[in-house]
Amino acid sequence: MPETNIAVGLDIGTSKVCIAVAEQDASGSLKVLAEGFAHSEGIRRAAVVNINKTVAAIKAAVAEAERASSIVIHGVNVALSGAHVHCIQSSSEISINQSGIVNESDVHRFLEKARANIQNLDINHEIIHVIPQEFIVDDQDRLLDPTGMAGMTMRGSVYIVVGLKTKIRNIRQCVERAGLKIVGLTFKPVALGMAVIKEREKRGGVAVIDIGAGTTEVTLFLGGAIHYSEVITVAANDITLDIAHGLQVDEEIAEHLKIKHGCADSRISSGNEDIVIEACEGYPQKTVQRSLLNLIIEARMMEILELVRDALMASGSYEAINAGVILTGGGSLLQGAVELAQLVLGLDVRIGYAEGAAGGMNRIGAVNSAVDATALGLVAYVYRNNMSGKNSFATSAAVPEIAEPKSKASQGSEDVSAVQEKNVAWKKVVDGLQEWWEKL
Ligand SMILES: Nc1ncnc2c1ncn2[C@@H]1O[C@H](COP(=O)(O)OP(=O)(O)OP(=O)(O)O)[C@@H](O)[C@H]1O
Ligand SMILES: [Mg+2]
């Protein structure tokens, strides 16, 4: 079986499941081999509400990525987020080893001590990450990587991410029932930060705002380390629902109006013409005023951004955001979102794509998009933390039906499902072989 050094990221969002498959080349750049997207219906505000639908969406996204890349996916680094995830500021202190030079095992002991400090806090939560924010070796402070420094004691602050065990178990169940191994479970803002923050921005304070379908996540990074994170349960789908209620149209039409004609900032939206909505199923044709549509959109977007501003103020570090604000997620693509964010937050704002230099994310292949940033950040996280391992995420397997697809015109839906079935059978064979090899 050919060995690969491929990594796979899985983002289970409220509106879509996104799989990113990439490998790192010798220069450290990430080459995107394939992406898979599937409509998601089993998630509400980042929490699983329907296991079967979520499993089906994961399988569909995996199948799409496998078809596009001719690899077989076995494992994933999964994003974890949602209102159940909490972050605790803590601290730790250890004596440096006898050589007096900080080594990796000192760092490990430092993090383990921080973990032990809070382990018994709450039996319903589990620790997902212990992320160092700052190391202080004797009196030398603000160190992000202390290894190699001379000293007697090392102390510092850490950011501990904990999530509700039951919610995490639901995510695990969905991924495993989709036939995948969980190689890593990564706090979403950490992955997102790796994807969208540029090296220059890491030196200052930067806020990453992910406006998704069901949640808006606000994360503040100071000096490259995560400092504060908050989940707001109002997001871009609420804009769609407001349009549906306000204009009395169904959600599908409301979504179309938002994406095709909507603008979040009345200062830049022009024209007040009528927008004609195609009649459906015997109903008469309808028109809506563009200004009314945009009024509805602006009101909700304003609310979201005011909540973001409140969260940034609550972090106590609003003044430290000197590098600006990175807006990402599907909601950031709404026309006028950047301009309105600039007004409400009083800061410079840009859209964030998975192109940041952090984590070796010099991206090659696939079109930049604000909706796949998390999945690609998950891949960057794998390489940054040396989690890739040979074949732990995927094996390359030349599946004849996939490698040489028939032309689209001659490929009916029955043919496609036949190919998918063969692909699944092939995957089982490969998985079996891998298991046998591991036992050996
Ligand atoms: N071009 C666009 N213009 C306006 N809105 C858009 C555009 N593309 C996507 N959206 C909106 O973005 C939302 C989906 O964003 P995204 O894919 O980031 O969400 P998600 O990751 O599935 O959700 P969450 O992160 O909340 O779990 C939807 O509400 C969709 O209407
Ligand atoms: Mg999302």
Residue nearest to atom 19 of ligand 1 (CA): 212
Please indicate whether residue 7, judged by its CB atom, sits closer than 6 Å to ligand 1: no
Reading the block at residue 174, the tokens are: 């969905």
pLDDT at 406: 44
Reading the block at residue 191, the tokens are: 């992955």
Which amino acid would we find at residue 129? H
Please indicate whether residue 352, judged by its CB atom, sits closer than 6 Å to ligand 1: no
**Which single residue is written with the structure tokens 């106590």?**
316
Contact 154, 96 (CB under 8 A): yes
Pocket test for ligand 1, best of 11, 15, 40, 229 (most atoms within 8 A of CB): 15
For residue 150, the CA-to-ligand 1 centroid distance in Å is: 48
Domains and CATH numbers, the chain: 6-82+168-192+358-439 (3.30.420.40), 86-163 (3.30.1490.110), 199-234+299-351 (3.30.420.40), 239-298 (3.90.640.10)
Give the 3-state secondary structure of residue 101: strand
Atom of ligand 1 nearest to the CA of 237: 29
User: Closest-lying ligand to the alpha carbon of 214?
Assistant: 1
pLDDT at 425: 54
Atom of ligand 1 nearest to the CA of 262: 4
Please indicate whether residue 371, judged by its CB atom, sits closer than 6 Å to ligand 1: yes
Please indicate whether residue 300, judged by its CB atom, sits closer than 6 Å to ligand 1: no
pLDDT at 412: 42
Residues of the chain with pLDDT under 50: 357, 360, 399-417, 419-420, 440
For residue 329, the CA-to-ligand 2 centroid distance in Å is: 6
From CA 373, how far away is CA 266, in angstroms rounded?
Answer: 28
Could you please report the per-residue DSSP string of 287-355? EEEHHHHHHHHHHHHHHHHHHHHHHHHHTT-GGG--SEEEEESGGGGSTTHHHHHHHHH-S-EEE--TT
Please indicate whether residue 329, judged by its CB atom, sits closer than 6 Å to ligand 1: yes
Contact 75, 8 (CB under 8 A): yes
Which amino acid would we find at residue 386? N
Counts for the chain of helices (H) and strands (E), in that order:
12, 21
Atom of ligand 1 nearest to the CA of 16: 22
Please indicate whether residue 61, judged by its CB atom, sits closer than 6 Å to ligand 1: no
For residue 102, the CA-to-ligand 2 centroid distance in Å is: 38
pLDDT at 10: 97
HSE-CB for 131 with a 13 A CA cutoff: 25
Residue nearest to atom 25 of ligand 1 (CA): 212
Reading the block at residue 264, the tokens are: 């979040």
Residue nearest to atom 11 of ligand 1 (CA): 330
pLDDT at 342: 98
pLDDT at 435: 58
Contact 193, 225 (CB under 8 A): no
Contact 163, 125 (CB under 8 A): yes
Residue nearest to atom 9 of ligand 1 (CA): 330
User: If you ran DSSP here, which 8-state letter would residue 183 be given?
Assistant: E
From CA 337, how far away is CA 265, in angstroms rounded?
Answer: 7
- Radius of gyration for the alpha carbons in the chain, expressed in angstroms and rounded: 23
**Which single residue is written with the structure tokens 């945009």?**
294
Please indicate whether residue 54, judged by its CB atom, sits closer than 6 Å to ligand 1: no
Atom of ligand 1 nearest to the CA of 374: 21
HSE-CB for 119 with a 13 A CA cutoff: 7
Atom of ligand 1 nearest to the CA of 40: 22
From CA 195, how far away is CA 356, in angstroms rounded?
Answer: 5
Beta bridge partners of 206: 221, 324
Please indicate whether residue 42, judged by its CB atom, sits closer than 6 Å to ligand 1: no
For residue 217, the CA-to-ligand 2 centroid distance in Å is: 9
pLDDT at 439: 54
Could you please report the per-residue DSSP string of 362-428? -EESS---TTSHHHHHHHHHHHHTT--TTTSSEEE---HHHHSPPPGGG--HHHHHHHHHHHHHHHH
pLDDT at 354: 86
